[in-house]
């Protein structure tokens, strides 16, 4: 299964690099589903493990009194200002096989990170990109009540049912939507 996840990560990064390379400057500066971040900041964030040292990340977290999201916001904005569109796409493409994983997330967490932030961009821009079902399924099958709690989504009393693949989550009133819309809902995104 791990090899399958790493192959999916590689494919997702390469697909995103191709898509990002086709965006206009106006699109690179457009807002995303990540509040306060333009496309440029989201890409700077997703590529952070490839262009920043662990020491920098730890220093920024300490400067933010242990608040990772605060440190992440500051780093994304600084890196988006410092790196060009071509540099960010190049970093993503050249690190398609990089084995970075988020703390405690493993390879499934890395795939989730890539797909969710990719959707933050493409959904906000109205590009209609459909993430391949095999990749979505790997991410959705890894969802737990703990991961939903992390994102702060209120799904109590709701049962999520994907209309385009075999996946359900939770109990209660059914919410039926395509899988990638449900993934965004689980992540607390407003769609």
CATH code of the domain in which 43 resides: 1.20.120
Number of domains in the chain: 1
- Residue 62: the pLDDT is 95
Residue 67 placed within a domain: yes
Q: What is the pTM of this model?
A: 0.94
What is the signed CA dihedral for 30, 10, 102, 125, rounded to 10 degrees? 20
Q: pLDDT tens digits for the chain (191 residues)?
A: 799 999 999 999 999 999 999 999 999 999 999 999 999 999 999 999 999 999 999 999 999 999 989 999 999 999 999 999 999 999 999 999 999 999 878 999 999 999 999 999 999 999 999 999 999 999 999 888 888 888 888 889 999 999 999 999 999 999 999 999 999 999 988 76
169: enclosing H helix or E strand: strand 168-170
Q: Which tokens in the block code for residue 121?
A: 């961009």
Residue 152 placed within a domain: no
Residue 184 placed within a domain: no
Residue 130 placed within a domain: yes
Question: Which ranges in the chain belong to alpha helices (H)?
Answer: 2-21, 25-28, 39-46, 48-51, 54-63, 68-82, 85-94, 106-125, 133-141, 145-151, 179-186
- Residue 89: the pLDDT is 98
Report yes or no: 124 and 108 within 8 Å, Cβ to Cβ. no
Residue 176 placed within a domain: no
Residue 169 placed within a domain: no
User: Range of 88's domain?
Assistant: 2-135
- Residue 188: the pLDDT is 87
Residue 105 placed within a domain: yes
Residue 92 placed within a domain: yes
- Residue 132: the pLDDT is 97
């Amino acid at each position: 299964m791990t090899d399958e996840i790493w192959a999916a990560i590689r494919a997702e990064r390469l697909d995103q690099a191709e898509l990002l390379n086709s965006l206009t400057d106006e699109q690179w500066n457009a807002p995303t589903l990540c509040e306060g971040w333009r496309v440029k900041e989201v890409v700077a964030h997703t590529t952070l493990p490839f262009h920043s040292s662990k020491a920098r990340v730890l220093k920024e977290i300490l400067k933010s009194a242990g608040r990772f999201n605060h440190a992440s916001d500051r780093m994304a904005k600084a890196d988006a200002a410092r790196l060009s569109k071509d540099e960010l796409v190049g970093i993503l493409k050249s690190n398609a096989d990089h084995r970075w994983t988020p703390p405690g997330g493993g390879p499934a967490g890395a795939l989730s990170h890539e797909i969710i932030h990719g959707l933050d961009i493409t959904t906000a821009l109205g590009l209609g990109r459909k993430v391949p079902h095999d990749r979505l399924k790997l991410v959705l099958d890894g969802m737990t009540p703990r991961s939903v709690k992390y994102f702060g989504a209120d799904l109590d009393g709701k049962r999520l049912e994907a209309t385009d693949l075999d996946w359900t989550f939770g109990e209660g009133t059914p919410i039926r939507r395509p899988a990638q819309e449900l993934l965004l809902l689980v992540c607390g995104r407003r769609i």
